[in-house]
């Protein structure tokens, strides 16, 4: 689940507490493709250029699903592989999850190292990334390509519970493409079952998702943070941000900084400090 690990070839110091959170890149085989006035390939290039321009390299880069534009075509993933080239050459580990606009087999054909990797749940893009201060649990909510709802399934939820119990010594962050689907039909269909796993386990501090193309943070009544990442690609509502989030881990929480593709936007650089539940 990691692309681009290696020696410190870039010459930059790695900040072990800094992570780049991306979602919904929606790359198309046609790099000129535009949706809602946005060229997805160009947005991705802008974000990649910013990542490479950081004074310190982040410990990792996450792309949280919907890597492809609509139906997960081979050409979409070929563009993703190409545009990730500079980031990988900059020695930034890249971790990928899948969303409802992805197609698992074509994704794995493009990223052969992912197909050949040992996944804890067979035929799912699932894994655990161990950071210096937190553990990242990456789940695969792709159920049917180009159908909006998502599903984790019993096997993946069982693995998550056991993996959380086996790694309870540090905060855990759970990353899924789909938003909680409790109040609608477009999100994660087994949200309640996921919450049954993560809410009682107090080491889980946040559920991080995309899918809605909205930037938002909130807490539920147990203190669990719900972090809705903005899209790198197009937005559904004019004025919403296209961009990414820089996450910096702190002793008792995490600082999130919103990075717009359009740096002139008044919300570019907005910071939100999260405090972990006890």
* pLDDT at residue 25 in the model: 98
pLDDT single digits (tens) 35-57: 999 999 999 999 999 999 999 99
Instruction: Residue 59: name the closest of 11, 22, 91, 24 by CA.
Output: 91
Residue 242 has what pLDDT?
94
* CA 216 to each of CA 41, 83, 226, 227: distance values in angstroms, whole numbers, following the listed order: 24, 27, 8, 6
H/E run at residue 258 = strand 253-260
pLDDT of residue 114: 86
Contacts of 221 (CB under 8 A, 6+ apart): none
- Does 1 fall in a domain? no
**Two tokens, residue 255:** 């600082």
Contact status, residue 167 vs residue 135, Cβ threshold 8 Å: yes
CB atoms within 10 A of CB 262: 12
- Are residues 141 and 157 in contact, defined by beta-carbon separation less than 8 angstroms? no
Q: What is the pLDDT along the chain (278 residues), one digit of tens a residue?
A: 445 443 334 578 999 999 999 999 999 999 999 999 999 999 999 999 999 999 999 999 999 999 999 999 999 999 999 999 999 999 999 999 999 999 999 999 999 988 788 889 989 999 999 999 999 999 999 999 999 999 999 999 999 999 999 999 999 999 999 999 875 567 999 999 999 999 999 999 999 999 999 999 999 999 999 999 999 999 999 888 899 999 999 999 999 999 999 988 888 999 999 999 99
Task: State how far the Cα of 201 lies from the Cα of 71, in Å rounded to an integer.
Answer: 35
| Rg from Cα positions in the chain | 17
For 195, phi then psi, to 5°, come to -65, -30
> Is 244 domain-assigned?
yes
Asked if residue 198 lies in contact with residue 164, where contact means CB atoms within 8 angstroms, the answer is: yes
In this structure, is residue 3 part of a structural domain?
A: no
**Residue 50 CA to its chain's centroid (Å):** 17
Determine the pLDDT at residue 189.
95
* pLDDT 10s digits, 163-220: 999 999 999 999 999 999 875 567 999 999 999 999 999 999 999 999 999 999 999 9
Report the distance separating Cα 89 and Cα 99, nearest Å.
Answer: 25
Angle at alpha carbon of residue 126, lines to 83 and 140, rounded to 5°: 80
| Distance of alpha carbon 21 from alpha carbon 243, whole angstroms | 9
pLDDT at 184: 58
CATH code where residue 249 lies: 3.60.21.10
- Domain total for the chain? 1
How many helices (DSSP H) and strands (DSSP E) are in the chain?
Answer: 6, 14
Q: How many angstroms separate the CA atoms of 4 and 30, rounded?
A: 25
User: What's the domain range around 271?
Assistant: 14-275
Residue 8, in any domain of the structure: no
């Amino acid at each position: 689940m990691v692309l681009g690990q290696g020696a410190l070839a870039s010459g930059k110091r790695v900040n072990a507490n800094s992570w780049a959170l991306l979602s919904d890149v929606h790359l198309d085989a046609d790099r000129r493709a535009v949706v809602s006035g946005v060229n997805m390939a160009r947005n991705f290039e802008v974000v990649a250029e910013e990542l490479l321009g950081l004074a310190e390299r982040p410990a990792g880069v996450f792309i949280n699903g919907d890597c492809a534009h609509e139906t997960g075509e081979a050409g979409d993933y070929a563009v993703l592989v190409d545009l990730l080239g500079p980031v990988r050459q900059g020695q930034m580990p890249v971790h990928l999850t899948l969303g409802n606009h992805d197609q698992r087999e074509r994704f794995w054909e493009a990223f052969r190292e992912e197909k050949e990797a040992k996944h804890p749940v067979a035929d799912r893009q699932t894994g655990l990334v161990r950071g210096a201060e937190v553990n990242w649990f990456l789940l695969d909510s792709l159920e049917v390509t180009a159908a909006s709802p998502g599903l984790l399934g019993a096997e993946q939820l069982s693995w998550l519970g056991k993996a959380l119990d086996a790694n309870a010594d540090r905060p855990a962050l759970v990353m899924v493409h789909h938003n909680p689907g409790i109040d609608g039909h477009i999100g994660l269909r087994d949200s309640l079952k996921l919450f049954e796993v993560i809410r009682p386990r107090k080491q889980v501090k946040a559920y991080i998702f995309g899918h809605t193309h909205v930037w938002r943070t909130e807490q539920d009544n147990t203190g669990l943070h719900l972090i809705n990442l903005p899209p790198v690609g197009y937005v559904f509502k004019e004025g919403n941000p296209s961009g990414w989030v820089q996450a910096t881990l702190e002793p008792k929480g995490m600082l999130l900084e919103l990075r717009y593709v359009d740096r002139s936007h008044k919300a570019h650089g907005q910071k939100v400090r999260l405090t972990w539940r006890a």
